[in-house]
Amino acid sequence: MTAIAIDSQPKSVSPTRLRFRDSFRRHPTAIVGGVVLLLMILIAIFAPWLGTIDPQAVSPIRRLKPPSGEFWFGSDMLGRDVYSRVLYGARVSLAVGIAVALLSTLIGLAIGLVTGFIRWLDAIVMRIMDGLMSIPPVLLAIALMALTRASVENVIAAITLAEVPRVVRLVRSLVLTLREQPYVEAAVAAGTTMPRILLRHILPNTVAPLLVQATFVCASAMITEALLSFIGAGTPPNIPSWGNIMAEARSLFQIAGYLILFPGIFLSLTVLAVNLLGDGMRDALDPRLARRM
Amino acid sequence: MFAYVVRRLGATIVVMAVVAFVVFSLLYLTPGDPAAILAGDAATDDDILRIRAKLGLDEPFFVRFGGWVWALLHGDLGTSIFTNLPVAHLIGQRIEPTVALTVCTLLISVAVAVPLGVIAAAKVGTWVDRAVMAFSVLGFSVPVFVLAYVLIGTFSISLDWLPVQGYRPLREGVWEWFRHMVLPSTVLGIEYIALIARITRASILDVLAQDYVRTAQAKGLSSRAVLLGHALKNAAVPIVTIIGIGIALLIGGAIVTETVFAIPGVGRLTVDAILRRDYPIIQGVILIFSGAYVLINLAVDLSYMYFDPRIRY
């Protein structure tokens, strides 16, 4: 009885969720992006069970074989299975993309929140950020990678450092707008402490724009990782990543184009998926921007 | 107006000082001792100490920074560890292809992207608009080198219309130079075009919602006159801003493009320097590129005075 009664009740959906869902319906590309991204994440997680062999297993007799029933994506100059390497490569790209998005958002948020409220610190920090932003991000990441040992962790750190100033700028501009809002002034007048104002009144309002920014950071981080690996300053060669596979195939391009084609397609598709998702989220979370961008 | 120029110049000098500090710190934090590298494998500890003293490597941080900046202001970017040649000389040798590539890309991109953005805005909501926006998302998503190989495969290998790789200096003939420039510039420009087209569209759409545009339409101006005469100039500030900021994409992309197309420019110099851990070169390249980037954006800031005279104050 009670079960039926509950079922017959109209489900209450918050207006925000309704708007969100509605916007997604109007932006089917965002759904496509989300599905493709989810697929890539599943591929990365379940790579060992998707008909792959050891991505590092060399087989010199069977090197540079074009795609076939045995090697779905062909084999490279050491006879390694490109299909396995590409699937395992998804792990590096996604790990770097997601880690950089998370880290740079959190670090940028912390710095941006504090500088937005402490005036004397603001001047100093923003000059440093201006300086960092004047170094093209790829170049800064290259310089940092040249300083350190090649490893996935260092790639993440280098790209994060290059991305942080842009997040700080965004957070700071949000904070500067938000602190002029009447409800913040009211909180100040009521004697609320600054940490509490930051956490309760400012922080929640930065979430939506930051979420959108994070997806774009994720997309650009994946491209930068591939780019660093491609020029030999990124993920070490013993870990298969899309950039690495393409870097190793550079000199073989004319005879074995598939070596670049498959990782290239996977990389482009993943970045495209993240970008579509980001565009969709921006439109859904900020309808005013939707018309403009 | 004078005050605005002075203020912008002042800010630029501060930014350049911060860049110099960051770049110097990078070298300072370098693991490994340049003195030990220069001394070679057979050197004794005394040799290394002597070289370190000779190079001033045993001085405190700020003394070294001061000396380094002083040398920098005299055009001395340091000496390459491996070739023992001045970095300024090495960069000078390689600068032509890089400047040719980036300037070429810049001109083509702006010439393509701004009209694309204007058309998309004028036809907002139609298939034309959607096509431009779809192209824009694609442009952001396909990495430079992936696109490069697709285009080389199509136009150089399959169709055999254009050279696969390489560079011809301008003085050896404009036609050959142009043929070698087409693919690299296209590849390098795609993301930049995507960015500029997107901002142009957004900016024009913003302006089209303004009262003075409605007035212009009401007094019977053609939509062409409204778009080009009223909308474009008023939408120019965000557009030139993104053209300036986007130069960062060109610089990062040039390094990869030069690698793919075997263009002997500064980008290749950088990649070789990374592989050999030749830090002074990396440092010099970052300084030159960042300096160019900052100066271009200073020029962009000053151009605001033309596009929007209110900014002078």
Question: Average pLDDT, stretch A239-266?
Answer: 82
DSSP labels, A101-134: HHHHHHHHHHHHHHHHH-HHHHHHHHHHHHHHHT
Ranked by mean pLDDT, which of A79-88, B48-57, B71-80, B96-105 comes out on top? B96-105
Quick check: A140 pLDDT over 90? no
For residue B152, which residues of chain A lie inside 8 Å, CB to CB?
Answer: 253
| Residues B258-273 pLDDT 10s | 988 888 999 889 888 8
Interface test with B, best of A124, A147, A154 (most B CBs within 10 A): A147
| Residues B69-99 pLDDT 10s | 888 888 888 888 778 888 888 998 889 899 9
Size of interface A-B (CB pairs under 8 A): 143
CB contact under 8 A, A231 and B150: no
| Residues A124-136 pLDDT 10s | 888 888 888 888 8
Q: What angle do CA A135, A136, A138 make, to 5 degrees?
A: 125
Q: Which residue of B has its CA nearest to A30?
A: B137
pLDDT for res A291: 47
User: In the structure encoding, which two tokens stand for residue B258, read together?
Assistant: 């030069």
User: In the structure encoding, which two tokens stand for residue A287, read together?
Assistant: 């309808």
* Interface ipTM above 0.90: no
B57 touches chain A (CB under 8 A): no
Interface test with A, best of B137, B146, B198, B281 (most A CBs within 10 A): B146
Q: Whole-angstrom Cα distance, residue B109 to residue B27?
A: 35
| Residues B89-147 pLDDT 10s | 899 888 989 999 999 999 999 999 999 999 998 888 889 888 998 899 888 888 888 88
Q: Which residue of A has its CA nearest to B200?
A: A293
Beta bridge partners of A75: A81
Q: Whole-angstrom Cα distance, residue A167 to residue A165?
A: 5
Q: Whole-angstrom Cα distance, residue A243 to residue A277?
A: 23
Q: Whole-angstrom Cα distance, residue B165 to residue B158?
A: 14
CB contact under 8 A, A139 and B285: yes
Q: What is the residue-averaged pLDDT of chain B?
A: 84
Q: Whole-angstrom Cα distance, residue A264 to residue A180?
A: 47
Q: Which residue of B has its CA nearest to A269?
A: B141
Question: Average pLDDT, stretch B269-282?
Answer: 84
| Residues A148-174 pLDDT 10s | 778 888 889 999 998 999 899 888 888
B145 touches chain A (CB under 8 A): yes
User: In the structure encoding, which two tokens stand for residue A108, read together?
Assistant: 């940028």
List, in order, residues 6 or more apart from B241 with CB less than 8 Å away: B300
Model confidence at A16, in pLDDT bands (50, 70, 90)? Answer: low
| Residues A98-130 pLDDT 10s | 999 999 999 999 998 888 778 788 888 888 888
B30 touches chain A (CB under 8 A): yes
Give the gap in angstroms from C-alpha B302 to the nearest C-alpha of chain A. Answer: 17
Could you tell me the CA-to-CA distances from A131 to A259, A272, B26 in Å, in that order?
39, 30, 14
| Residues A188-226 pLDDT 10s | 888 888 888 888 888 888 888 888 889 999 999 999 999
Residues of A with CB under 8 A from a CB of B: 127-128, 130-132, 134-140, 142-148, 219, 223, 226-227, 230-233, 246, 250, 253-254, 257, 260-261, 264, 267-268, 271-272, 275-276, 279, 291-293
Give the gap in angstroms from C-alpha B294 to the nearest C-alpha of chain A. Answer: 6
Quick check: A4 pLDDT over 50? no
DSSP labels, B41-57: TT--HHHHHHHHHHHTT
Q: Whole-angstrom Cα distance, residue A82 to residue A247?
A: 13
Give Cα A48 distance to the centre of its chain.
23
For residue A257, which residues of chain B lie inside 8 Å, CB to CB?
Answer: 149, 153
B129 touches chain A (CB under 8 A): no
Instruction: From A43, A21, A11, select the one nearest A265 (Cα to Cα).
Output: A43
